[in-house]
Amino acid sequence: MESAWVDTTLVLNINPCQSRTNKAMKREFVGEVADSGVKVPVKDESEVLVEELNRVSAENKKLTEMLTVLCEQYYALQHQFNELVSNNSRTEAAKISSKKRKAECEDYRTNNLIGFSGNTESSSSDEDSSKQPKDCLKPKISSVHVRTNPSDTSLIVRDGYQWRKYGQKVTRDNPCPRAYFRCSFAPSCSVKKKVQRSAEDPSILVATYEGEHNHDCAHNNAPAEPSLSPTNTGPAPVPSAQTKAAPPTVTLDLMQPARMEEDAKKPDQRIDAPAIRQLLVHQMAALLTRDPNFTAALAAAISG
């Protein structure tokens, strides 16, 4: 089945014009700065800044367009996938009528999961849930698959939140124990998380979240976890669903921003209006973080 996985590698090239403009800038500023003692500056600073602003605006526009296209493609794919899976689950449920409870929960979960979209609004709309089994009704359920080092036996999925383990149990259908976590960041937050290794692929941790956090991600308020490292290529979140039916794999290319960081350290690129760049990144982040599942997956990938 591995071969059927879709690798929708997400390369956030948030500075497509960088190399070109940097070279140009370098040339320009080498003339101005390096030999400043000898030469008169070709352009004055304000001109350069205006030019830079225009460039960044153009980049911003380009990025917005790219993001729009990406979103459209993403929703189209998600829609197709939803259709496929709902067809599958209908036939499966008919076959396995004996395992009623399991099938129903599985079905519900699948419907939720497909949506890696985080479209919890649509996938778990409570009005529609009259068909759902009672115990699957309550909180919003989503699940994230995280690929880990098989030798790592810990059942820890770092997703940016602070969890307190309150139980562990070996379940019937899986020899690997299942760990139960509760969100400990806010006492009023009733989100729960179950983490269990996949029976089929022990290198994959399946984290099932129940409920919604009523607070920000711990990273926003607390110091970053020690394990956070931009070079960490560890656990890549595998969007829910599924080891059975060709699950789409989102690979987050976290090296890209790291390279940019390096680039930013070079003296000749510091002129790159860091504030504007930061604004750009914030805009991107704001757009992307509208998808809660995406943020969860991203957090898991970063904190690996």
Partner DNA sequence: CGTCTTTGACCGGCGC
Partner DNA sequence: GCGCCGGTCAAAGACG
Which residues here bind DNA, judged by CB under 7 A? 98, 100-101, 133-135, 162-169, 171-173, 178-180, 184, 192, 194
Which has the closest alpha carbon to 145: 248, 218, 52?
Answer: 248
Residue 145 or 194 with smaller CB distance to DNA: 194
Rounded least distance, CB 298 to DNA, Å? 22
Residue 62 or 101 with smaller CB distance to DNA: 101
Backbone angles phi, psi at 235, to 5 degrees: -60, 120
Residue 5 or 180 with smaller CB distance to DNA: 180
Rounded least distance, CB 162 to DNA, Å? 7
Identify the burial level of 94 via C-beta atoms within 10 angstroms of its C-beta, where 0-12 means exposed, 13-18 middle and 19 or more buried: exposed
Residue 7 or 173 with smaller CB distance to DNA: 173
Residue 95 or 134 with smaller CB distance to DNA: 134
Rounded least distance, CB 220 to DNA, Å? 17
- Cβ-contact 59, 66 below 8 angstroms: no
Q: 165 pairs with which residues across the strands?
A: 181
Rounded least distance, CB 167 to DNA, Å? 3
224 contacts: CB under 8 Å, gap ≥ 6: none
Rounded least distance, CB 180 to DNA, Å? 5
Over its C-alpha atoms, the chain yields an Rg (Å, rounded) of: 23
3-state secondary structure of 137: coil
- Cβ-contact 145, 197 below 8 angstroms: no
